[in-house]
Structure 1
């Protein structure tokens, strides 16, 4: 039944029989047959069918909750037995908000040195996508904001507080200041993250509270894109201090603290709320806690 539950989860995630079958590495008829067999075993309809996938039935929604729990526990058991046989090994899938990508190497590097049999894949996603992927078992852990918006049932390890700076070229407006206010930067030519990013929603809120409004002339979901435009001297941006430092700004780029208020928002590691954790996730949580103890991020 575990395989059928995994197929069912894939269908719920993809919302399309063909894409779900491709994700599972099987044919569409095989997937459809497995879902029907699962329905027969449970005695309920799970999927609303027509010419195409039309969603889950109320019973299907409830079975999905059980499926995620059962499949998660099965994966944990398999990982634990593999670790007992040959030590910690396997693959960790991570998703992180764009402003946290620069610090991930401070977790993955010492982790991989301690456990050379472990590999990583890392994708950039917004905060809502990180939580959705975690719930759908598409990732093992994520890095996102721990405040502002609901997290659901997750295990968290706070890592650092995001603090904001105006990033601008020398000689541009406000570049000679030791600090600037949120109200003052509202009229600058800004390049910012896209509106679907929680970082952007945080920035918008602080500007609004200060009586200003952001009207960026360029938006991107990539911090590298923002930085490259700041370097032209034609744009300014608002970036967390830790991200700005990671770029190694040349002397002609100024990093100016934003005050009134001097805002900060907590970012941390999130993992499924499950006991026991998989050996990989347990080791990852431990690595994050060690980092917090040893370093000030």
Structure 2
């Protein structure tokens, strides 16, 4: 039954029988037969069929919720028994919003010192993608905003608050100011994250509250690209203070607090809302709480 539920989860994610079969490492006829057997066992149609995948039935949508819960519990059980035999080891998959990537070493480094048998993959993703990846078991935890857009049913550990700065070169407008307003920042040639990023939506929101609008001359989903353009002295940007400090801006680059409003947004670790969590995820949540306590003292 578990393998058939995994087939169904893959099909719901890929929305294509061939791609779902490839993800599961089986042939398309094997996957299709497994879905059909699952329907027969449950006595309901799960998939709207035609010449191609046409979506889930209402019953299929409900079964998908159960399938994720059951498969998640089965994986947790297997990992817990493996940890009991061999100790905490394995591979941890993390997806983080771009503005939080620079702080991930503060989580992963002490964690691996405690558990040297653990390896990591860290991906840069939008906040929406983080939640989707969690839902589909493609990552173990995410790092994302906690208080700006709906998160759904997830476990969270608040880590720190983002506060926003104008990052600009000496000699540019406002570079010698102690503070700058959101309305003033809007008039500068800005390089910003792309609109699919929640950080950009937050920036647009605060600019709108100030009666202004962002008209960036450059957009990218990479913080490295933004930093590189700021260093030319021809572009300015809006970034969280903790991120700017991590990259070690020095003269002639200035970081000017943005006020009216002096905005902040909470960033933290997110994990699937499931008890018990896998041993690796439980240990990561514990390490995140230690990190949150350390950050609160800064």
Secondary structure of 1:55's counterpart equals: coil
User: For residues 127-146 of structure 1, what are the structure 2 equivalents within 5 Å?
Assistant: 127-146=127-146
1:237 corresponds in structure 2 to 237
Measure the CA separation in 2 of the matches of 1:295 and 1:124: 22
Measure the CA separation in 2 of the matches of 1:232 and 1:50: 55
Shift of 1:252: 1.2
Secondary structure of 2:54's counterpart equals: strand
Shift of 1:223: 0.8
* 1:95-114, Cα deviation, whole Å (9 max, x unpaired): 11111111011001111111
Query: How many residues are treated as equivalent by the alignment?
Result: 297
* 1:128-166, Cα deviation, whole Å (9 max, x unpaired): 111111122221111111112111111110000000000
The question of whether the paired residues in 1 share the 8 Å contact of 2:160 and 2:295 is answered with: no
1:249 corresponds in structure 2 to 249
Secondary structure of 2:111's counterpart equals: helix
Secondary structure of 1:256's counterpart equals: strand
2:71 corresponds in structure 1 to 71
Counterpart check, 1:10 vs 2:30: no
Measure the CA separation in 1 of the matches of 2:15 and 2:229: 38
What CA RMSD, in Å, does the superposition of the two structures yield over aligned residues?
1.0
The question of whether the paired residues in 1 share the 8 Å contact of 2:134 and 2:271 is answered with: yes
Shift of 1:169: 1.0
Measure the CA separation in 2 of the matches of 1:179 and 1:72: 48
Secondary structure of 1:94's counterpart equals: strand
2:26 corresponds in structure 1 to 26
1:272 corresponds in structure 2 to 272
Secondary structure of 2:38's counterpart equals: helix
Secondary structure of 2:160's counterpart equals: strand
2:86 corresponds in structure 1 to 86
1:293 corresponds in structure 2 to 293
* 1:7-29, Cα deviation, whole Å (9 max, x unpaired): 11011011111111111111212
User: For residues 1-297 of structure 1, what are the structure 2 equivalents within 5 Å?
Assistant: 1-296=1-296
Flag structure 2 segments of 5+ consecutive residues without an equivalent: none
* 1:219-255, Cα deviation, whole Å (9 max, x unpaired): 1111111111111111100000111111111311111
Secondary structure of 1:53's counterpart equals: coil
- TM-score, normalised with respect to structure 2: 0.97
The question of whether the paired residues in 1 share the 8 Å contact of 2:159 and 2:295 is answered with: no
Measure the CA separation in 2 of the matches of 1:59 and 1:295: 45
* 1:251-274, Cα deviation, whole Å (9 max, x unpaired): 111111111111100000011111
Measure the CA separation in 1 of the matches of 2:207 and 2:224: 23
Measure the CA separation in 2 of the matches of 1:276 and 1:206: 39
- TM-score, normalised with respect to structure 1: 0.98
* 1:164-194, Cα deviation, whole Å (9 max, x unpaired): 0000111111111121111111110001011
Secondary structure of 2:163's counterpart equals: strand
Secondary structure of 2:245's counterpart equals: helix
Flag structure 1 segments of 5+ consecutive residues without an equivalent: none
